[in-house]
Amino acid sequence: MGRAFIGLGANLGEPVETFGAAMAALGQAGRVVAVSSLYASAPRDMADQPDFTNAALELETDLEPADLLITLKRLELALGRDPQGVRFGPRVIDLDILAMEGRCVDDPELDLVIPHPRLAERRFALEPLAELDAALRPWEACGDERSARTVADLLPGVADQQVRLVTEGGDWLRT
């Protein structure tokens, strides 16, 4: 089994309930072994929408990257995401593969890039990921100049972005 790190985001509906449903369903794709705190952040690319709620989880899985992506996209649809929705617009759920340990993927045909192509630019993704594994080197398998950088190394580069802690630890799962 390998480790996959999944980012969860939503700004419509009831994000905590939707995240809980997503985690329960992901149990069929592997084993959820850790869950971050909940964070809130203002939208970045399209300002006229509600703030986002974000979290991350660590999933032990045997799925290959393409199969994990398909699983996440199907799950988004099942949880009510509009596949025709505006890019960077409001959504009930967004599930992104942030990183997969030992994997570097760039598959334009599947629109799949691992680690997530904008991970280093997004505090709302890095902050919860750092809780799960601050020493994780997302690009280690890529063998390029980013290979030695840890999640903790990336955080100072997004210090200007505001992210608010909403609920510390995985306790939000019980609310």
CA neighbours closer than 13 Å in the CB half-sphere of residue 129: 32
Q: Would the pLDDT of 12 be above 60?
A: yes
Looking at domain 2-168, its CATH architecture is 2-Layer Sandwich (3.30)
10 Å Cβ neighbour count for 112? 16
Q: Report H helices in the chain.
A: 15-26, 65-78, 123-133, 151-154
From the list 50, 43, 44, 55, the residue with the least C-alpha distance to 19 is 55
Amino acid making up residue 51? D
Helix axes 65-78, 15-26, angle to 10 degrees: 140
Do residues 116 and 125 make contact, with C-beta atoms less than 8 angstroms apart? yes
> Which residues belong to the active site?
81, 91, 94, 96
pLDDT of residue 137: 97
Phi and psi for 70 in degrees, rounded to 5? -60, -45
56-97 pLDDT, tens per residue? 999 999 999 999 999 999 999 999 998 888 888 899 999 999
Kindly give, in sequence order, each residue whose CB lies less than 8 Å from that of residue 6, ignoring residues fewer than 6 positions away: 26, 56, 57, 58, 59, 72, 95, 96, 97, 98
pLDDT for 1 equals 87
What confidence tier does 33 reach under pLDDT thresholds 50, 70, 90? very high
Each residue's pLDDT tens digit, 108-119: 999 999 999 999
Furthest-apart CA atoms within the chain: distance in Å: 42
The position carrying tokens 């979290």 is 55
